Amino acid sequence: GQQLNQSPQSMFIQEGEDVSMNCTSSSIFNTWLWYKQEPGEGPVLLIALYKAGELTSNGRLTAQFGITRKDSFLNISASIPSDVGIYFCAGHMTTDSWGKLQFGAGTQVVVTP
């Protein structure tokens, strides 16, 4: 299946810095999702986006549904050590009738004190 293009692959940042990552696709999506996965655990849903241009926050996390419907962005402000993990984007294509999601390869975030 198609994988989304997620970048960057990894980020090493200092505590207090902001983090930005994005996902792009050649297809149009009607839903964008952002997940966080910690070592040895399953992904946990952070933010869900449903409309082009939508901007949604969850605490220090902010995500946007791109206006072309082919991309999405996630920002983490003022990072803290517990932000460490792998962040995945996922999207649902408008042409899919089964509810299947496409996933990005993930962005590994490492926060140093």
Partner 1 sequence: DVKVTQSSRYLVKRTGEKVFLECVQDMDHENMFWYRQDPGLGLRLIYFSYDVKMKEKGDIPEGYSVSREKKERFSLILESASTNQTSMYLCASSRGGTGGNEAFFGQGTRLTVV
Site of interaction with partner 1 (CB under 8 A) = 1, 3, 31, 33, 35, 40-45, 48, 88, 90, 92, 98-101, 103-106
Q: Output the CA torsion sign for 108, 22, 95, 3.
A: negative
Q: How far is the CB of 103 from partner 1 (least distance, A)?
A: 5
Tokens of 89: 């984007």
DSSP-derived 3-state class of residue 83: helix
Q: How far is the CB of 31 from partner 1 (least distance, A)?
A: 5
DSSP-derived 3-state class of residue 82: helix
> Which residue number, 42 or 113, has a Cβ lying nearer to partner 1?
42
> Which residue number, 32 or 73, has a Cβ lying nearer to partner 1?
32
Place of tokens 């990894």: 10
Reading across the β-sheet that carries 71-76, which strands appear in turn? Answer: 5-7, 19-24, 71-76, 61-65, 55-58
Q: How far is the CB of 43 from partner 1 (least distance, A)?
A: 5
> Which residue number, 3 or 112, has a Cβ lying nearer to partner 1?
3
> Which residue number, 28 or 80, has a Cβ lying nearer to partner 1?
28
